[in-house]
Amino acid sequence: MKLDRQRFEVILISIIPLIIGAGLALLIITSGGLGDILARNSQVFSLTDITIQAIVSTGLGTLVVVALFYTIQRQGPKAKRTIIAFIVSPVLTVSFYIIGQSLLLIIIKGATQSIWPSIFSVATLGVLLMSFSFIMMDSVPSYLRNFFVAFYGSVFGTFLGIIFLTVSMFVLVISVVVEDYFLTRFSPAAESAILIDTPGADPFDYTRIQSKASAVGVGDYIAFSLISAHSLLFFPLHVWAMSILLAIVGIIINITVIARENEILPGIPLPALLALFPWVVHLISLPLLA
């Protein structure tokens, strides 16, 4: 077990989406739309439905990621940056729109006579154009890039955690776990996913939170925030607490025991699988307690 300042920083960075996801979920709890979400979450799915959904989502997700990596590998630096801009800018814009509409729903209860919806719509367009331009020109400081990743990763993950049914959440998390592990360990595309010393030389800076010698990908932020948000909204408080605790334990084991220097570590599988364990125990125990 090894714990130094650098590894400690990575642990803290990895825990942030768990906190953000829970914080955003607390805001949603106060809104009137939560009842509709809970009603949809009570639907029943067969094992066949779940299996088909898992196979389709994992297969399509892996195909898209591999295709993007190979496309980026075969093109020059400018093409790489363009592809990243076309991916990151819309996600950042959607995240801004989601958080803006959520604030409207909570603060002014969605009042149609307010001018705020129009202001947020115009601001959303501005975010799209400005973020695309900033990424193409690489005129964003490193701390602001890190903020972008934390913002759109956590907001987008929380949004998925809120709208997905619990059964779909299992499928989604398992799919991400499988893709993260195999794409990191066995994909040739992962060999080029290394940190570049020259600031701005790598367009993937906009898809990870990066320190001097380590980085946490936006996928970790999406996965951890959606687990945290869904746990808080759809499970009892003690289940959420155990899920977060086990996720943190998984993060610490990843960073202090499994991580090796100059090697890419799939950071999602262990914390995500541990975080799902309290869900499984709770769902299995419900019929027994009833």
Longest CA–CA separation in the chain, Å: 61
Q: For each of the chain's 290 residues, which pLDDT tens digit applies?
A: 677 777 888 888 889 889 988 888 887 776 555 555 655 555 566 667 767 777 777 777 677 767 766 666 666 656 677 777 777 777 778 777 777 766 666 665 555 556 666 676 777 777 777 777 777 777 667 777 778 788 888 888 888 888 788 888 888 888 888 878 877 776 555 554 444 444 445 556 667 777 665 677 788 888 899 999 999 988 889 999 999 999 999 999 988 888 776 667 788 889 999 999 999 999 888 777 76
- In terms of Cβ atoms closer than 10 Å to its own Cβ (0-12, 13-18, 19+), residue 40 is exposed
- Degrees to nearest 5, angle at CA 136 with 134 and 141: 40
Could you give the C-alpha distances from 30 to 15, 39, 105, 117, 191, in angstroms and in order?
24, 16, 10, 20, 45
pLDDT reported for residue 245: 95
How far is residue 223's CA from residue 238's CA, in Å, rounded to a whole number? 20
Are 152 and 88 in contact by the 8 Å Cβ rule? The answer is: yes
Strand-pairing partners, residue 216, are 209
| The two three-digit tokens of residue 162, written as one number | 């809120």
How far is residue 56's CA from residue 158's CA, in Å, rounded to a whole number? 22
| The two three-digit tokens of residue 226, written as one number | 């959606």
Are 179 and 65 in contact by the 8 Å Cβ rule? The answer is: yes
How far is residue 168's CA from residue 57's CA, in Å, rounded to a whole number? 10
pLDDT reported for residue 137: 73
**Structure-token match 């714990």, residue found:** 3
- In terms of Cβ atoms closer than 10 Å to its own Cβ (0-12, 13-18, 19+), residue 123 is middle
Q: Give the start-to-end residue ranges of the domains of the chain.
A: 5-285
